[in-house]
Amino acid sequence: MELKRFQVTNFRSVEDSEWIEIDRVTALIGINESGKTNLLLPLWKLNPAREGEIRPTSDYPKKLFGTIRANPGQYCFITAEFLTGDLADTLAATTGASKDKLARVYVRRYFDGKRTVEFPDAKAPRTTSFSSVQLLLKGAAEEIGVLQALETDEPVKTNILALLTEVSGSESTDAMIDATRLTGLHGRLEKLSIPPASNSSAIVARYRQLLTVLGTNVSALMKADPGSLEAVAAAVLKAMPKFLYYSNYGNLDSEIYLPHVVENLKREDLGNKEAAKARTLRVLFNFVRLSAEEILELGQEINLTKGAAPTDEQIAATSERKRERSILLQSASALLTQEFRKWWKQGDYRFRFEADGNHFRIWVADDRRPEEIELENRSTGLQWFLSFYLVFLVESEGAHRDAILLLDEPGLSLHPLAQRDLSAFFDGLAATNQMLYTTHSPFLVDADRLDRARKVYLAPDGTTKATENLREGKGDGGQRGAAYAVHSALNLTIAESLLLGCQPVIVEGASDQHYLTAIKTLLIQRGKLRPRASWCFRRQEEPKPLAPWQAY
């Protein structure tokens, strides 16, 4: 199943995001506090790979907190539209509906945790126009009226025509009637008393044909939607991809104090930052196939009374536990090194886990720097990639191709060139995974693929909105701020193309820039200067990319 679009309603600062279209890679661009995270979190909670519980105090919009708390099952906070793909064949066989009508499906989740499934193209009609019913009634009356009746059937014919006339005029011509009202009309016609002797007449046969057609129409109005069938809903929810959410708050530290980890992993009252860190640590210990308690226990020293000497058996048992812990950590280190190398091609990294008493450390080396260095002293980019990869690897449980990645401000601390590399990395990952990420960095906005960028901003009423229209909003500071990253990305692309083959020279002020540019031009015109590359003078304090007229 592939995600095509989603809509967030009544979740934190989002009142109604309206439909947000999704590509293989989609960037949600906005300034700080615009609510970008509040668009990712409800998607994650639709079908989280792990965790992702609904937290009323955080997730309910504050102005509706009491109302939603009283009846959470009435409030849908996320609707996602998927393409069912190959699943449509199975669904068609189960429901009998056309495969084309099952190609799209909506999945909704409510604040009570309930999920519903709906096929917008296969919804059964719930009403029909009375004028269409009148056509059936009048058509039957006309045909019965011209049929020759035996003397014994004449009263039956008269009663049938009178009843059809009465029922035909019982509703307004432009009225819409539902299954209940149509069932009532059908029941009135069925109650007409017909003598047994007239059962074989053509008049009664035509009348019963009318009853059959009306009964079929009633059944059509009462037909269950495919999504309401338990087997169909279960199949859709099972096939729906998992959502994996990651933010910078979850980055690992190089040194981890195990007693604090044990305590935090049991707590349910952690803040967002602490909860994200605890989640990554839980993933880390799942990866090494040990719990923090086990690592502590395997490293315990002999507990002796004062002055007592350890026995040979106690020394041997303690030594064996530490040896077991060391082997387990070496095995996990080798596994992480091997798996990370398959995924990240920009360096031959080697990881080593070490446990020393109450402390757990992560050491890193690579082909350029073979000496081991603590993770925390390596680049924040590597910390982010390693932490994200562990969450991605463990929480998706090997089903990498099915997971949809939700990345909140990825690579925020990376160098601009590394952010460009990260953007290219996303393109490669999109071959197997759909991805949504939030950013306000122009280096993470692909100027050649602005069709996959969505602008996120705060509306005047304080609610979060998203739009594909990347034009600057007139008089709206929130929209201007959201569009600035897009404009900056375009300016960077233009500046880079203008500076190809140029030798940039940084000068102190605007006058130096203009004088040197004029001197350069005059010298080139008179043949006194033939530079191998064009010189481009730029003021040191100028923060913006060069305008076209500044590059020669």
What's the total number of domains in the chain? 4
Do 516 and 447 lie in a common domain? no
Position 294 in a domain = yes
Of the two residues 380 and 28, the one the predictor is more confident about is 28
Range of the domain at 537: 501-550
Please choose, from the candidates 140, 146, 149, the residue with its C-alpha nearest in 3D space to the C-alpha of residue 212.
140
- Domain annotation covers residue 403: no
The pLDDT, as a whole number, for residue 195 is 86
Percent of the chain with pLDDT strictly greater than 70: 83
Q: Is the pLDDT of residue 48 over 60?
A: yes
* pLDDT at residue 200 greater than cutoff 70: yes
Instruction: Indicate whether 547 pLDDT > 70.
Output: no
Phi, psi of 457 (to 5 degrees): -155, 165
Rounded CA gap, 119 and 101, in Å? 7
How far apart CA 411 and CA 415 sit, in angstroms, is 8
What gap in Å lies between CA 149 and CA 151, rounded to an integer?
6
Task: With respect to residue 166, please indicate whether it lies within any of the assigned structural domains.
Answer: yes
* The residue type at 495: A
pLDDT of 541:
46
Identify the band that residue 254 occupies on the pLDDT scale cut at 50, 70 and 90: low
pLDDT at 551: 37
Q: Are residues 43 and 113 in the same domain?
A: yes
What letters, b where the CB count within 10 A reaches 16 and e where it falls short, cover 60-75? bbeeeeeebeeebeeb
Residues 341 and 291 in one domain: yes
In a domain, 505, yes or no: yes
pLDDT tier for residue 481 given thresholds of 50, 70 and 90: low
Q: What is the pLDDT of residue 51?
A: 79
Shared domain for 336 and 272, answered yes or no, is yes
pLDDT digits (tens, 9 = 90+) for 261-304: 788 777 777 766 777 777 788 888 887 777 778 877 777 766 65
User: What is the average pLDDT value for the chain, to the nearest integer?
Assistant: 81
Closest CA to 241 of 24, 59, 423: 24
Lowest mean pLDDT among 25-39, 329-343, 380-394: 380-394
How many Å apart are CA 107 and CA 79, to the nearest integer? Answer: 6
Q: Which two tokens stand for residue 401?
A: 């191709």
The lowest-confidence range among 9-13, 39-43, 181-185 is 181-185
Indicate if the pLDDT at residue 72 is higher than 90: yes
Judged against a pLDDT cut of 80, whether residue 376 lies above it is answered with no
What secondary structure, in 3-state letters, does 509-536 show? Answer: CHHHHHHHHHHHHHHHHCCCCCCCCEEE
Evaluate if residue 241 carries a pLDDT over 70.
yes
Contact 154, 203 (CB under 8 A): no
**pLDDT for the residue 512:** 77
Domain boundary at 395, 426, 443, which? 395
| Closest CA relative to residue 16, chosen from 97, 68, 73, 79 | 79
Q: Nearest-CA neighbor of 487 among 540, 550, 440? A: 440
Give the E-state strand segments of 64-163 in sequence order: 76-83, 104-110, 115-118, 127-129
Segment 102-127 mean pLDDT: 91
pLDDT digits (tens, 9 = 90+) for 495-546: 555 555 566 677 777 777 778 878 888 888 888 887 766 666 665 544 444 3
Indicate if 523 and 486 belong to the same structural domain.
Answer: no
426 and 343 in a common domain: no
Looking at residue 388, its pLDDT comes to 79
- What's the rounded Cα separation, in Å, for the pair 6 and 18? 8
> Is 292:355 a contact under the CB 8 Å cutoff?
no
Same domain, 280 and 371: yes
**Residues contacting residue 311 through CB under 8 Å, at least 6 positions apart:** none
Please check whether residue 34 is in contact with residue 479, taking contact to mean a CB–CB distance below 8 angstroms.
Answer: no
Three-class HEC string of 212-261: HHHHHHHHHHHCCCHHHCHHHHHHHHHHCCCEEEEEHHHCCCCEEEHHHH
List, for residues 151-163, the tens digit of each pLDDT value: 788 888 899 899 9
Q: Which pair of tokens denotes residue 163?
A: 């009843």
Residues 109 and 136 placed together within one structural domain of the fold: no
Task: Let me know if residue 341 belongs to a domain.
Answer: yes
DSSP symbol at 102: G
**Predicted pLDDT at 97:** 83
- Same domain as 235, residue 215: no
**pLDDT at residue 467 tops 70:** yes
Q: Does one domain contain both 231 and 264?
A: no
Instruction: Give domain status of residue 401, yes or no.
Output: no
Does residue 367 share a domain with residue 252? yes
Lowest-confidence region among 49-63, 146-160, 319-333, 491-505: 491-505
Q: DSSP 3-state assignment of 141? A: helix
* In a domain? residue 400: no
Q: What is the CATH number of the domain that holds 120?
A: 3.40.50
Cβ contact 73:114 at 8 Å: yes
Residue 32 and residue 335: Cα distance in Å, rounded?
38
- Name, of 163-172, 417-426, 441-450, 532-541, the range with top average pLDDT: 163-172
**Do 116 and 50 belong to one domain?**
yes
